[in-house]
Structure 1
Amino acid sequence: MSRTDTASPSVSVVIPVYNGERFIARAIDSVLAQSHPVADIVVVNDGSHDGTAEVLRHYGDRLTVIDVPNGGVAQARNLGLARTRGELIALLDADDVWRAHKLSAQIDALRRHPDVDFTCCDYEAVHPAIGPRDTHFEHVRRLHPPAFNRVVPRPVRTLIDINFVGTCSNVLFRRSLLGRVGLFDPRLRQAEDYDLWLRMATTGNFYLQSDVLLEKITHDDNLTLRYDETLQYHEAVLHKFHAQQNELFARDPGLQAAHTRAVADVRYQIAGLLLAKGQHREGFDWLGRSWQADRGLRHSLRCLKRLLRRTLLP
């Protein structure tokens, strides 16, 4: 879809899957049930050794299936993106489910705002044994409210403050954006999506839709359930982005301050998770690193409070 085109745009969907036989059919069916039909669905079977391949065979030529040795989700998505042909790109994780009007709502947002390159929607996190919890944007609002349902120009600082996108499954973006910033970084086992969103935010305008258009399924196999490890990758992405965008940070002292706060905060969160698990040596180490990142009075008192609470507990 060009910036002035009013015709129905073509959409490609990329789904990476690793040992997803329990979930992949629901994900694919939710794409096939979209009120806006898709041009192609590319599923990358990333070295699955369960029954995933058999499930995929049932869909015949409705899918393009790429079978590769296990190389991680970033590499799988890149291989899938290389086989797509749509003007717009949507990503879906193998255990998530779109609501039927997800694509049509997002395409409508891009039509109404031709200067927008990237849109993401709200979603529910659902655990099979627990049910739905607060939506993602409800959580985001409590921490750092971004602007919803309007154009957000190049939201680098907001993304550094908080990853308001949250997942791959809720996004739709123009193919041209990838041409400007590149693909996923296959060196990252986690937070590879956050790394890409930050790069996209340096050159593209975003639109955050408050509509809940996705169910994000959480279960014991999710990578993101190992949250302390996820946060360590998040920190690595922040450092990588800073190293790659030296000129951007040099021009904007406020951005540098936001980055300092973000690094200190993510280390503080890692410390809390490790201490809660009884890993005191590692937890206190991360707490010290958090203080080293931000020695301002407010954060110093925050770190001291956590230190005293943990050392004085019986």
Structure 2
Amino acid sequence: MTLDAPVPAPGAGVTFVMPVLNERDYLERAVETVLQQDVDGPAELVLALGPSTDGTTELAHRLADADPRIRLVDNPRADIPVALNLAIRSARHPTIVRVDAHSELAPGYTRQALATLDRVRAANVGGVMRADGRTPFQRAVAIAYNSPIGLGGGAYHGGAPEGPAESAYLGVMRRAVLEEVGLFDETIRRGEDWELNLRIRHAGYRVWFDPRLSVTYWPRESWARLARQFVATGTWRGELVRRLGRQNSLRFFAPPALVVAVAASIVLGILQVTGLITGVASAILSVVHLPLALYVLGILGFSATAGRSVRERAWLAVVLPTMHLSWGGGFLSGLLRGAKDTVDTSRLDRNTPLP
């Protein structure tokens, strides 16, 4: 049976919640797009501050001093689900709008999301994540994000029709339902939104996708940060498969399958080059190279047509395998040994101690 989420009284207000860690270059603009949202009733923005080392905390305090709608809570553990729970528990209003310091809300985002929540009686509604970039590398990552080839075709990465969804990007959520299902699981450091939405759906409530909602997302700025991000994300997806099995979508198994195919092709290639496998056996087993060859051709073809400049095309040919193999390798590690204390270090400076 599907349950209708509660609808607060008109003008009851919304609380925006934003985890923040080392976001000096993005925070001010992210906050600006939140404060520009047009909503009926009061609104507040709760920034959950991790132990930043790049001046982000000082910037957050200046922003809060300049606008009484901004409140600050400390998040010494730095973990995103902990930050979100701290912010939600301190919220004053019945609807929670999750926002990211590395993103920008489109004008009218919140008003449209609230209208959709009321109309379909959903517990959580999300829209499209439109990645963008400021450099050729970041734009190449954005192209990969915005394509099914890059991230596997989740609804919020493309133009899927409005309707029930597996999860929601960021999300505009009814606080009463969040509290009913137990908020975010603080033992999950990546993929916490997917797991929360799984519990919301299991409780009988709707998770909804509305393509009219749009959020600009700024990807990682360097190859090393991108690789670290995807290793951590893949590792935690492997952990979620350990915990929840086939409740995970089949699309999550494509990157680890690619890693296995690459490893098999490399091992066979070494055996062939060293002469340990020759003749008919070598010819028959060469079919193992086919998936990798098709993958390389596909990546080169997509990069040549999707990139808008030579530099973007070159970066795409690097970015896509980095995303796939880092995520897939992390997944296999998480599946076999668990995520344990794996953290996403792509937001940390090299001198920042791990939590």
Q: Does 1:19 align with 2:29?
A: no
Q: Is the 8 A contact 2:8 2:94 kept in 1?
A: no
Identify which of 58, 62, 67 aligns with 1:58. 62
Which sits farther off after the overlay, 217-226 or 49-58? 217-226
Report the alpha carbon displacement of residue 65 of structure 1 after superposing the two structures with TM: 0.7
Higher relative contact order (Cα pairs below 8 Å, separated by 6+ residues): 2
Q: Which residue of 2 aligns with 1:293?
A: none
Q: Which residue of 2 aligns with 1:107?
A: 114
Q: Which residue of 2 aligns with 1:230?
A: 233
Which sits farther off after the overlay, 180-189 or 2-11? 2-11
The runs of 5 or more residues in structure 2 that have no matched partner are 268-285, 297-355
Q: Is the 8 A contact 2:20 2:49 kept in 1?
A: yes
Higher strand share: 1
Matches within 5 A, 1:115-126: 116-126=122-132
Q: Which residue of 2 aligns with 1:193?
A: 193
Greater CA radius of gyration, 1 or 2? 2
Q: Is the 8 A contact 2:145 2:151 kept in 1?
A: no
Residues 1:238 and 1:6: Cα distance change in structure 2 (over 3 Å): same
Q: Which residue of 2 aligns with 1:211?
A: 212
Residues 1:223 and 1:307: Cα distance change in structure 2 (over 3 Å): same
Report the alpha carbon displacement of residue 96 of structure 1 after superposing the two structures with TM: 0.6
Q: Which residue of 1 aligns with 2:135?
A: 129
Q: Which residue of 2 aligns with 1:268?
A: 257
**Helix, strand or coil: the match of 2:143?**
strand
One-letter amino acid of the counterpart of residue 122, structure 1: V
Report the alpha carbon displacement of residue 135 of structure 1 after superposing the two structures with TM: 7.4
The runs of 5 or more residues in structure 1 that have no matched partner are 243-255, 285-303
Q: Is the 8 A contact 2:19 2:49 kept in 1?
A: yes
Q: Which residue of 1 aligns with 2:51?
A: 47
Residues 1:202 and 1:224: Cα distance change in structure 2 (over 3 Å): farther
Q: Which residue of 1 aligns with 2:306?
A: none
Report the alpha carbon displacement of residue 42 of structure 1 after superposing the two structures with TM: 0.6
Query: Structure 2 length as normaliser, TM-score?
Result: 0.62
- Percent identity between matched residues is 19
Query: Structure 1 length as normaliser, TM-score?
Result: 0.69
Aligned-partner Cα distance in 1 for 2:213–2:7: 28
Aligned-partner Cα distance in 1 for 2:151–2:57: 40
> What is the CA deviation profile of residues 27-69 of structure 1, one whole-angstrom value per residue up to 9, with x for unaligned ones?
1111100122652211011111221122112222331111232
Report the alpha carbon displacement of residue 174 of structure 1 after superposing the two structures with TM: 0.6
Aligned-partner Cα distance in 1 for 2:6–2:147: 28
